[in-house]
């Protein structure tokens, strides 16, 4: 409750108490005297003072209300002034005992006005609070804007510093660029100079490389020539022969008196080539055929190549060479060569390079070095000197079917008897017999008879 209203109620109760108290019971009765005019005059004067005071109070209230409407910020001071006015009214109300009813009515009006003014004041306070809140919000917003402005100024300062740094960097970059341009010019000059020097060096290098290539070629040719012209040890040649032997087996079948007759032949030989085709080289006596048998027809002929531990393959045909029909070859394809994994001996390009040769007897039972001579009477053959064996390994003498190798490791030919060796220059066939278990052979009797007649027609020294 408002303090002023409380004081006003207390005063009102106090005045009621005074008015309702019967003072005549407490004091003895005095003779009434007629009123004095002065008293009446004084009474009128007091009423006028009270009215004047009330008017003054109402005027103060109006002034306070106008001041409250004009200045919301001075609401508290107006209320204080109003409280002082009410205190003055309370002190004056002690003197208005006689006109209590009028005063109460006036006080009631004043209470209504006061309540209205209080409501206005409360409304003013709420508006003030709202304004204060809005002011606080504005202050907070201003503070945020101030902070944002400070941050923006800081960013601007940092950006300015970066711009200054970039400006300095640009200047430094320009200077470095100028230096780099100058260096690039110098380097370009150096590059041109080095390029010209490189061209000269490349020309010199090419000339030197050509010279080195020619020297290497000549060196390779010289090395090959030295290798070709340097005889290989007989032990090495024989060891190569043993490591590269191929077991070649022949089987021939014909009709006999009591069924079919079969004849076998086998040879431990090597593979040789003329640069076009690879062949297995054997003597006719190592096959089922013989030029001593006349009128024999073999129906089926089979050729098989074996190499330990478990490889086996067949040959397609048997060929009798035109240079000497006693020399028989069997074609071998590349797949068989790879599966056998043996060395293929080339034919001697220059058979007369060395005066000595290596003779391997009977598939490797013995070997030895021997000299040979050309015989103008028998072209395509050379005669070996059995009496001039320089080394003999094993108990043997040269015989038909022995293989002869040059000291450079190439194949010279095959012995056709104990004195002569046929020189193999190519593998041109004189006759061919197909081979295979399922391939019937043509009549071989006439073919073998013609081959036998060819051998018998040779000079007696070559038979």
pLDDT of res. 81: 62
Listing DSSP states for 45-97 in one string gives HHHHHHHHHHHHHHHHHHHHHHHHHH-STTHHHHHHHHHHHHHHHHHHHTT-S
Angstrom distance (rounded) from CA 300 to CA 69: 146
Please classify residue 67 by burial: count the beta carbons closer than 10 Å to its beta carbon, then call 0-12 exposed, 13-18 middle and 19+ buried.
Answer: middle
pLDDT of res. 390: 47
pLDDT of res. 320: 95
pLDDT of res. 397: 76
Matching CATH number, 234-456, of 3.40.50, 2.70.40, 2.40.10, 1.10.3470: 2.40.10
230 by DSSP, 3-state: which? coil
pLDDT of res. 40: 45
pLDDT of res. 65: 66
Ordered mean pLDDT values, 10 residues apiece, the chain (463 residues): 74 78 56 50 58 76 70 60 65 61 72 76 74 79 79 78 77 79 80 81 78 69 65 90 93 80 91 94 91 77 88 92 95 93 92 88 87 85 71 66 92 92 93 82 81 91 88
Angstrom distance (rounded) from CA 237 to CA 223: 20
pLDDT of res. 247: 92
């Amino acid at each position: 409750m408002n303090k002023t209203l409380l004081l006003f109620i207390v005063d009102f109760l106090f005045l009621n108490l005074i008015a309702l108290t019967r003072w005549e019971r407490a004091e003895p009765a005095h003779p009434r005297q007629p009123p004095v005019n002065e008293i009446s005059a004084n009474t009128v004067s007091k009423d006028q003072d009270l009215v004047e005071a009330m008017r003054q109070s109402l005027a103060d209230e109006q002034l306070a209300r106008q001041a409250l409407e004009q200045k919301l910020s001075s609401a508290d001071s107006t209320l204080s002034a109003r409280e002082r006015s009410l205190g003055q009214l309370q002190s004056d109300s002690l003197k208005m005992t006689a006109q209590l009813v009028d005063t109460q009515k006036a006080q009631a009006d004043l209470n209504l006005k006061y309540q209205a003014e209080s409501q206005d004041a409360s409304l003013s306070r709420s508006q003030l609070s709202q304004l204060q809140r809005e002011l606080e919000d504005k202050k907070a917003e201003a503070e945020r804007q101030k902070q944002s402005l400070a941050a923006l100024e800081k960013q601007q300062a940092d950006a300015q510093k970066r711009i200054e740094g970039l400006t300095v960097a640009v200047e430094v970059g320009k200077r470095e660029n100028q230096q780099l341009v100058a260096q690039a010019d110098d380097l370009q000059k150096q590059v041109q100079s080095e390029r010209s020097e490189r061209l000269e060096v490349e020309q010199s290098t090419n000339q030197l490389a050509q010279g080195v290539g020619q020297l290497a070629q000549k060196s390779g040719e010289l090395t090959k020539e030295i290798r070709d012209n340097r005889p290989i040890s007989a032990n090495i040649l024989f060891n190569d022969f043993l490591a590269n032997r191929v077991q070649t087996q022949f089987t021939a079948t014909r009709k006999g008196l009591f069924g079919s007759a079969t004849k076998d032949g086998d040879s431990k030989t090597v593979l040789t080539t003329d640069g076009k085709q690879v062949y297995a080289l054997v003597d006719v006596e190592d096959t089922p055929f013989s030029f001593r048998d006349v009128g024999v027809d073999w129906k089926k002929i089979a050729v098989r190549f074996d190499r330990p531990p478990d490889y086996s393959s067949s040959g397609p045909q048997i060929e009798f060479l035109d240079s000497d029909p006693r020399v028989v070859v069997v074609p071998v394809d590349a797949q068989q060569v790879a599966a056998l994994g043996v060395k293929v001996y080339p034919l001697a390009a220059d058979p007369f390079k060395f005066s000595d040769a290596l003779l391997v007897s009977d598939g490797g039972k013995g070997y030895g070095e021997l000299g040979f001579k050309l015989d103008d009477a028998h072209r395509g053959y050379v005669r070996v000197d059995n009496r001039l064996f320089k080394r003999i390994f094993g108990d043997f003498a040269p015989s038909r079917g022995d293989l002869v190798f040059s000291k450079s490791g190439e194949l010279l030919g095959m012995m056709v008897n104990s004195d002569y060796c046929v020189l193999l220059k190519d593998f041109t066939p004189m006759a061919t017999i197909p081979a295979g278990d399922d391939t019937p052979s043509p009549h071989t009797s006439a073919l073998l008879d013609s081959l036998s007649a060819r051998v018998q027609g040779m000079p007696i020294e070559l038979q």
